[in-house]
Structure 1
Amino acid sequence: MSHYLSPEQYLPHDPPMLLLAEVVSVTDESAHCRVAVTTDGVLAPFLNAQGELPGWYTLELMAQTIGVWSGWHRQQRGQQRIALGMVLGARELVCAAGSLPAGATLDIQIKLLMHDERFGSFDCVICAGSGTLATGRVNTFQPTQEELTMLFNQGSTV
Structure 2
Amino acid sequence: MIDWPLAELLPHAGNMILIDQVLAFDEEQIHTRLTVRPGGLFNRADGSLPAWIGVELMAQSVAAYAGCQAREKGNPVKLGFLLGTRKFECNVEHFPVGSELTIHSLRSLEDANGMGVFECHLTGPGIHATARLNVYSPPNEGDYLVERAPS
Per the alignment, residue 133 of structure 1 pairs with 128
Is it true that 1:59 corresponds to 2:55 in the alignment? yes
Report the Cα distance in structure 1 between the residues aligned to 2:15 and 2:2, rounded to whole angstroms.
24
Q: 1:93 is matched with which residue? A: 88
Amino acid at match of 1:134: A
Q: Is the 8 A contact 1:6 1:21 kept in 2?
A: no
- Give the letter for the 1:35 counterpart: L
Q: Structure 1 CA distance, aligned partners of 2:60 and 2:53?
A: 11
CA distance in 2, matches of 1:26, 1:53: 25
| Structure 2 partner of 1:82 | 77
Q: Shift of residue 99 of structure 1?
A: 1.4
Q: Count residues with an aligned counterpart.
A: 150
Cα deviations across residues 63-116 of structure 1 (Å, max 9, x unaligned)?
Answer: 11001111111112221x220001111001112312112210110111111112
CA distance in 1, matches of 2:144, 2:66: 21
Task: Give, as a single letter, the amino acid of the residue that structure 2 aligns with 1:37.
Answer: V
Higher mean alpha-carbon deviation, 9-18 vs 148-157, is at 148-157
Name the structure 2 match of 1:6: 5
TM-score, normalization: structure 1? 0.85
Corresponding position: 1:48 with 2:41: no
- Cα deviation, residue 39, structure 1: 2.4
Question: Which whole-Å deviations, capped at 9, do the CAs of 1:9-55 have from their partners, x for residues lacking one?
Answer: 21111111011111101111110111111227xxx332111221012
Which blocks of at least 5 consecutive residues in structure 1 are unaligned? none
Does residue 114 of structure 1 match 2:113? no
Q: Post-superposition shift, 1:155?
A: 5.2
Match of 1:123 among 111, 119, 123: 119
Distance 2:103 2:2 in 1: 18
Under a length normalisation based on structure 2, what TM-score does the superposition of the two structures give?
A: 0.89
Paired letter, 1:20: I
The amino acid across from 1:102 in the alignment is V
1:64 aligned partner, one-letter code: Q
Give the conservation status (yes or no) of the 8 Å contact 1:4–1:25. Answer: no
Counterpart residue number, 2:97? 102
